[in-house]
Homo-oligomer: A and B are copies of this chain.
């Protein structure tokens, strides 16, 4: 088969207008929408190696112009931990943490609502998992005290404690917010390092590593910190620095080449150059400011749930009242309506799109997820009214 040079021209004309022409309620996109400041630097730092103009040490975290080094220190202050690196996404940060803190065959304890990438990162690192259960519908709440029982269970089964505890601060299905310090206390009691996955919290709501008694926090630039992707954040306590930011020791057997300043699991220098890192910097002041208005976002979420539940057959899942803007709805009534359509899965998507709203997954009718973070009150009201209008039109 040969490359068709005519046909490939289409790649130059891909376009996207979701943010310009629609209200976007996509469950994973709201916290990553760029700030105006980020949009500006996006152009300036669009070239891949744009951060490396003045790189003297071969490490992106040490660059001083633009002030990456200073920024990472400020980010550590923001997260209330000691040392920070960037990675190409929080899943990579999780993989690095697991790989550096554990040996193959060790067991990690994780919440059963964890993001799939936590499971996959453990598998890739050769690590056994043990889940902390959650309740059933409609709340799907985790029993955080069960970390205690599960630690004992692992000890009984394998002869040693889990090497790490992981808690997902906010899960990606129900948007339940967990009290980080509960597991932090348990981690302290059993002396097991404690990892918080803050992909759905850091950057939109306040998170303190010290208060949580966390040893590590993962965060996601493109998920919740108004950055272009892909970029993740790995924050750690100083006592783990040498371990997680382990330096390369390889020596060329013939040449004697070595790379002693390069961090091993970051493969030397984390490839987060350019736009992702520049936008993370540029959005940072806005991100620091916005987490202080989290209560207002929660109010909007609760209002939105109240309005949505006025529609017959619509029910918000997860713990109520909501503490987060990511919301899953059970929507038996919309599902019934969709059955009348030839392209069933498109019913809700099309009806919303006609009215200027995007972000509900095509194909989702029995359940669907939305995120209303960062919408204005007017937009929240408009979205709720639109769902009501669609329902009324059909009943």
Contacts and interface: CB of A to CB of B under 8 A. Distances in A.
Interface in A22-58: 26, 28-29, 32-34, 37-39, 41-50, 52-54, 56
A308 to B, nearest CB: 22
Contacts of A252: 112, 119, 129, 131
Nearest to A33: B47
Given A15-B44, A43-B43, A120 B89 contact: no
Contacts of A257: 112, 116, 119
A269 B250 CA distance: 29
Interface residues of A, number: 108
Given A53-B358, A131-B255, A274-B222, A282 B16 contact: no
Contact of A43 (B39, B50, B133): B39
Given A15-B44, A47-B222, A228 B268 contact: no
Interface stretch (A66-74, A180-188, A321-329, A334-342): A66-74
B91 A282 contact: no
B53 A250 contact: no
A14 to B, nearest CB: 4
Interface of A: 1-5, 7-12, 14-19, 26, 28-29, 32-34, 37-39, 41-50, 52-54, 56, 66-67, 71, 74, 77-78, 88-89, 91-92, 95, 112, 116-117, 119-124, 129-133, 221-223, 227-232, 248-250, 252-255, 257, 259, 262, 264-265, 267-269, 271-276, 278-279, 281-282, 284-286, 288-289, 358-359, 362-363
